[in-house]
């Protein structure tokens, strides 16, 4: 069964705990312009504050002024996150601190028609597409713990500190269970662009 | 519920912030005497009405914000970033 | 160490009260006479131009200070001025708990003195304050907390104050409603002060007001202080909405507003004002006969004689003079309540309110002279002011009468901050959000 077919059959929600790699780039004083030029030269333009840009198989988001998170699937073939961090560190020419934060965050992907309703049960910001269209990103609190939310074309990326990941996953699964059994897709399927989850 | 308009994140609930106290006290120089340090560490104007105070947006942008708030009505008059250069 | 002195209740002189002695026989007699013989418990006085002592604030500490000045120190040329009616501030807004289970010896002695005064209070005042020594039970949830409580209990016992360790089973038998094994913070045991309990807070204000009024103190309601007149570093009196009142000594007992009043005399205090909320549920049959405090969050609860569960938590956490509070603390306290007592999940909350607190910079109160001569401060009570009303009043009256601090309150002076000896009651360093 292809991914689009599985989504079409899927009545509830889609959650996928995701083994992601996360690299944080923090501009030092005056470093923003250097970083922007370097990103553009690699075809990885740094998004503005409060936005996420999807550069498959990775995405870059910014929820803190002068700081970006590069998030992507942990793939040995594509090199280690430390190596990727090193590329940015070199490119920043001393104007940024670049840190491999993969162990610090746990990532979840949540899609499907009830995604917004599930998040609304624990999140106080308005995630309706009118206020938070695809391409938006925010750091906030969900289910009493810090969560970074990025709206992607196929759903929501959720990042929470590793120390709160278990609680957050339990909350996500318990809340999602009200909406029917979850269908799980692979991250590769999601990023393939073949999966268009129907809007509510 | 207080709602603080963060200049970086938009309006957010007070639960995302940590109150960090009076923003008007200024640390005296190293050579200052006991009275100045006592005033800095302990003494507060504690006004009824407009109060300038620090709030850390801990669960959001993690920026320290300077907020003018009325301590009786909870009206918020201004919110600005503590670091004037934006830190980057 | 010296033991805690016993109550000097017997030192109170017998006074023929204007409202008459309250007793069973009086009740019977008035019942037979159609209740025509009752008189107001205190006189609604009008201000005179000059008093020896003016006490600002008709709450628990102001009224008890006035009462002890008149009854124990023979100073009756006293006015208590209150912005509204007496007893509507924090004395009527707290969760009515009395206890002396403190950690620092000086604090144990001070609060134990207060508890002993509570024990003799109704006899002394001839007023039913419904003092109920039902016990206060503090729970612990970790081994480290057990050690801390054990140390605190031992410290108390060394000073002759009652404290007992309670096993898990003992906790369950004292509080059958409790969930000992809640997933996150299982209860390992408790620490009981059997003599702790509750007191009907309104009656405390009324009882002291009656006692003070009948000894000649003027209780002046609806009289707001708008300024403190002082010259050459000496206080001269207070400007009020009902005119100027000259005074040799002005005593501030206005916790929540201490900074504002002290500001009128040009002082800045080591105090921030914060709101503390409290809640009461609908009436239930008796389900809880101790005062219970949670050790893994801020939550304390007791059952009132009307059956409502009275409970509270921590301060909201930012400067405010608004007597209401906001929802995040309500959520946190409710979460603690149902974690500990799951049976409460469906009980309805009847009322919520807030009181504004003097949060001092080390979490302990201030009973002290100030840099303005003749201006005395009773404040900084954080959220522990109610239990301290008798001792606070007695030691403040002592300071007013003798000009030097009461031996049990020498550590509560205002100068301790600049002198580098703040009181570390919680053992975590000076911290403005302790109590």
C325-341 pLDDT per residue, tens: 999 999 999 999 999 99
CB neighbour class for C349 (10 Å; exposed up to 12, middle 13-18, buried from 19): middle
Check: complex ipTM more than 0.90 = yes
Cα dihedral C395/C398/C402/C405 (nearest 10): -10
Q: Is the pLDDT of residue C413 over 50?
A: yes
Q: What is the least distance, in Å, from the CA of B56 to any CA of chain C? A: 12
Q: Is the pLDDT of residue C253 over 70?
A: yes
Chain B CB within 8 Å of residue A140 CB = yes
Nearest CA-CA partner of C71 in C143, C12, C29, C129? C12
Size of interface A-B (CB pairs under 8 A): 54
Q: What is the least distance, in Å, from the CA of B31 to any CA of chain C? A: 16
DSSP E strands, C105-242: 136-140, 164-166, 189-193, 197-198, 218-220, 225-231, 234-240
Alpha carbon distance A156, A19 (integer Å): 15
Q: What is the least distance, in Å, from the CA of C421 to any CA of chain B? A: 12
Tell which of A26, A51, A122, A125 to mutate to test the B interface (max B CBs under 10 Å). Answer: A125
Residue A140 to residue B12, Cβ atoms within 8 A = yes
Helix ranges (H only) for chain A are 3-9, 32-41, 81-92, 115-120, 162-176, 187-191
Residue intervals in chain C for CATH 3.30.9.10 = 136-197+272-359
Q: Which residues of C touch B79 (CB under 8 A)?
A: none
Q: Is the pLDDT of residue C81 over 80?
A: yes
* Cis status of the peptide bond prior to A57, with omega within 30 of 0: yes
CB neighbour class for A196 (10 Å; exposed up to 12, middle 13-18, buried from 19): exposed
DSSP E strands, C255-307: 271-283, 291-293, 300-303
pLDDT value at residue A176:
85
pLDDT band with cut points at 50, 70 and 90 for residue C1: very low
What are the pLDDT tens digits along chain A (200 aa)?
555 555 544 445 666 667 788 999 999 988 899 999 999 998 889 999 999 998 877 899 999 999 999 998 777 666 778 888 899 999 999 999 999 999 999 988 888 778 889 999 999 999 999 999 999 999 999 999 999 999 988 788 999 999 999 999 999 988 988 887 767 766 666 666 555 555 43
Q: Is the pLDDT of residue C240 over 80?
A: yes
Average pLDDT of the residues in C10-20: 57
Is the CB of residue C71 less than 8 Å from the CB of residue C65? no
What tens digit of pLDDT does each residue of C174-224 get?
999 999 998 788 999 999 999 999 999 999 999 999 999 999 999 999 999
Size of interface B-C (CB pairs under 8 A): 66
Average pLDDT of the residues in B78-84: 87
Partner chains of B (3+ C-beta pairs under 8 Å)? A, C
pLDDT value at residue A6:
57
Q: What Cα–Cα distance (Å) separates residue A136 from each residue in A45, A58, C410?
A: 15, 16, 60
Q: Look at the alpha carbons of C404, C409, C414, C416 in this order and tell me if their dihedral is positive or negative.
A: positive
- Paired strand residues for C218: C79
Pairing status of strand C225-231 against strand A145-152: unpaired
Q: Is the pLDDT of residue C423 over 70?
A: yes
Is the CB of residue A118 less than 8 Å from the CB of residue A172? yes
Q: Which residues of C touch B14 (CB under 8 A)?
A: 318, 326, 328
What tens digit of pLDDT does each residue of C267-317 get?
999 999 999 999 999 999 999 999 999 999 889 999 999 999 999 999 999
Q: Is the pLDDT of residue C245 over 90?
A: yes
pLDDT value at residue C6:
55
Q: Which residues of C touch B72 (CB under 8 A)?
A: 320-322
DSSP string, C358-383: EEETTSS-EEEE-SSBTEEEEE--TT
A3-17+104-191 adopts what CATH topology? Gyrase A; domain 2 (3.30.1360)
Average pLDDT of the residues in C132-157: 96
Nearest CA-CA partner of C67 in C392, C366, C393? C393
Architecture of domain C136-197+272-359: 2-Layer Sandwich (3.30)
pLDDT band with cut points at 50, 70 and 90 for residue C146: very high
SS3 of residue C417 by DSSP = coil
For A21-100, CATH number out of 3.30.2020.30, 3.40.50.920, 3.30.70.1520, 3.60.21.10 equals 3.30.70.1520
Average pLDDT of the residues in B24-52: 94
Nearest CA-CA partner of A95 in A26, A25, A31? A31
pTM surpassing 0.80? Answer: yes
Average pLDDT of the residues in C242-248: 97
Q: A49 to chain B: nearest residue by CA?
A: B8
Tell which of B44, B57, B74 to mutate to test the C interface (max C CBs under 10 Å). Answer: B44
pLDDT value at residue C179:
95
- Paired strand residues for C81: C56, C220
Pairing status of strand C189-193 against strand C164-166: antiparallel
pLDDT value at residue C349:
96
Q: Is the pLDDT of residue C76 over 70?
A: yes
pLDDT value at residue B67:
97
Q: Which residues of B touch C273 (CB under 8 A)?
A: 46, 48, 71
Tokens 């009616």 belong to C85
Q: Which residues of B touch A50 (CB under 8 A)?
A: 8-9
Residue intervals in chain A for CATH 3.30.1360.120 = 3-17+104-191
Q: CATH 3.50.50.60: does it fit domain C43-128+200-270+362-416?
A: yes
Q: What is the least distance, in Å, from the CA of B72 to any CA of chain A? A: 25
Q: Is the pLDDT of residue C95 over 70?
A: yes
Q: Sort residue A116 into left (φ over 0), alpha (ψ -120 to 50) or beta.
A: alpha
Tell which of B48, B67, B70, B72 to mutate to test the C interface (max C CBs under 10 Å). Answer: B48
Q: Which residues of B touch A146 (CB under 8 A)?
A: 58-59
Q: C361 to chain B: nearest residue by CA?
A: B42
User: How many residues are present in chain C?
Assistant: 435
How far is CA C292 from its chain centroid? 18
Q: Which residues of B touch C318 (CB under 8 A)?
A: 2, 14, 19, 53
Residue intervals in chain A for CATH 3.30.70.1520 = 21-100
B3-81 adopts what CATH topology? Folate-binding fold (3.30.2270)
Q: State both tokens at A19.
A: 């083994």
Q: State both tokens at C96.
A: 């009515």
User: How many residues are present in chain A?
Assistant: 200
Q: Is the pLDDT of residue C360 over 80?
A: yes
Instruction: Indicate the angle between helix axes C105-125 and C143-158, nearest 10 degrees.
Output: 60
Q: Which residues of C touch B19 (CB under 8 A)?
A: 317-319
pLDDT value at residue A20:
83
Chain B CB within 8 Å of residue A50 CB = yes
Task: Share the mean pLDDT of chain C.
Answer: 93
Report the share of chain B in percent with pLDDT over 70. 94
């Amino acid at each position: 069964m292809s991914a689009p077919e599985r989504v079409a059959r899927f009545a509830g929600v889609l959650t996928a705990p995701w083994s992601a790699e996360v690299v944080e780039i923090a501009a030092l004083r005056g470093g923003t312009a250097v970083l922007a030029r370097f990103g553009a030269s690699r075809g990885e333009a740094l998004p503005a504050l409060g936005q996420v840009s999807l550069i498959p198989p990775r995405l870059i988001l910014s929820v803190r002024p002068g700081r970006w998170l590069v998030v992507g699937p942990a793939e040995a073939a594509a090199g280690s996150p430390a190596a990727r961090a090193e590329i940015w560190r070199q490119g920043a020419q001393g104007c940024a601190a670049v840190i491999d934060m993969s162990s610090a965050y746990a990532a979840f992907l949540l899609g499907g028609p009830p995604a917004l309703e599930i998040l609304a049960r624990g999140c106080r910001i308005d995630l309706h597409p009118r206020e938070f269209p695809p391409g938006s990103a925010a750091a906030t609190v969900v289910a009493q713990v810090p969560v970074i939310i990025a709206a992607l074309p196929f759903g929501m990326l959720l990042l929470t500190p590793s120390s709160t990941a278990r609680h957050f996953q339990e909350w996500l699964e318990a809340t999602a269970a009200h909406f029917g059994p979850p269908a799980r897709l692979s991250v590769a399927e999601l990023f393939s662009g073949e999966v268009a989850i129907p809007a509510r | 519920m207080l709602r603080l308009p963060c200049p970086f994140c938009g309006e957010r609930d007070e639960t995302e912030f940590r109150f960090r106290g009076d923003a008007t006290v200024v640390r005296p120089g190293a050579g200052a005497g006991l009275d100045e340090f006592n005033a800095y560490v302990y003494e507060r104007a504690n006004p009824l009405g407009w109060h300038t105070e620090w709030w850390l947006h801990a669960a959001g942008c993690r920026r320290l914000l300077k907020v003018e708030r009325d301590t009786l009505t909870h009206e918020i008059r201004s919110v600005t970033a503590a670091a004037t250069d934006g830190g980057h | 160490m010296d033991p805690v002195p016993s109550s000097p209740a017997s030192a109170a002189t017998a006074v023929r009260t204007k409202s008459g002695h309250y007793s069973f026989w009086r009740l019977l007699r008035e019942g037979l006479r159609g209740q025509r013989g009752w008189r107001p418990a205190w006189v609604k006085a009008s201000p005179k131009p000059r008093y020896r002592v003016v006490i600002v604030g008709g709450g628990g500490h102001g009224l008890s200070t006035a009462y002890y000045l008149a009854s124990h120190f023979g100073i009756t040329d006293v006015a208590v001025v209150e912005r509204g009616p007496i007893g509507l501030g924090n004395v009527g807004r707290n969760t009515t708990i009395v206890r002396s289970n403190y950690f620092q010896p000086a604090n144990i002695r001070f609060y134990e003195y207060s508890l002993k005064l509570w024990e003799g209070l109704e006899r002394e005042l001839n007023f039913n304050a419904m003092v109920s020594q039902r016990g206060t039970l503090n729970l612990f949830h970790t081994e480290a907390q057990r050690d801390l409580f054990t140390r605190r209990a031992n410290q108390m016992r060394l000073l002759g104050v009652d404290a007992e360790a309670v096993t898990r089973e003992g906790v369950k038998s004292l509080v059958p409603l409790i969930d000992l094994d809640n997933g996150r913070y299982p209860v390992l045991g408790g620490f009981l002060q059997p003599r702790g309990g509750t007191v009907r807070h309104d009656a405390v204000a009324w009882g002291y007001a009656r006692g003070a009024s009948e000894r000649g103190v003027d209780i002046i309601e609806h009289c707001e202080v708008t300024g403190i007149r002082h010259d050459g570093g000496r206080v001269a009196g207070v400007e009020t909405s009902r005119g100027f009142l000259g005074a040799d000594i002005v005593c501030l007992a206005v916790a929540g507003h201490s900074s504002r009043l002290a500001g009128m005399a040009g002082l800045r205090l080591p105090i921030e004002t914060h709101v503390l909320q409290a809640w009461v549920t609908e009436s239930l049959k008796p389900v809880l006969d101790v005062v219970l405090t949670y050790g893994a969050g801020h939550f304390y609860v007791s059952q009132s004689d009307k059956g409502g569960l009275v409970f509270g938590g921590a301060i909201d956490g930012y400067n405010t003079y608004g007597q209401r509070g906001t929802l995040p603390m309500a959520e946190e306290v409710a979460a603690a309540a149902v974690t500990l007592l799951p049976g409460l999940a469906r009980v309805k909350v009847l009322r919520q309110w807030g009181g504004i607190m003097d949060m001092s910079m080390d979490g302990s109160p201030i009973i002290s002279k100030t840099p303005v001569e003749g201006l005395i401060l009773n404040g900084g009570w954080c959220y522990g002011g109610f239990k301290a009303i008798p001792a606070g009043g007695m030691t403040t009256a002592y300071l007013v009468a003798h000009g030097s601090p009461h031996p049990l309150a020498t550590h509560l002076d205002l100068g301790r901050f600049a002198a580098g000896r703040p009181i570390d009651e919680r053992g975590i360093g000076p911290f403005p959000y302790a109590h």
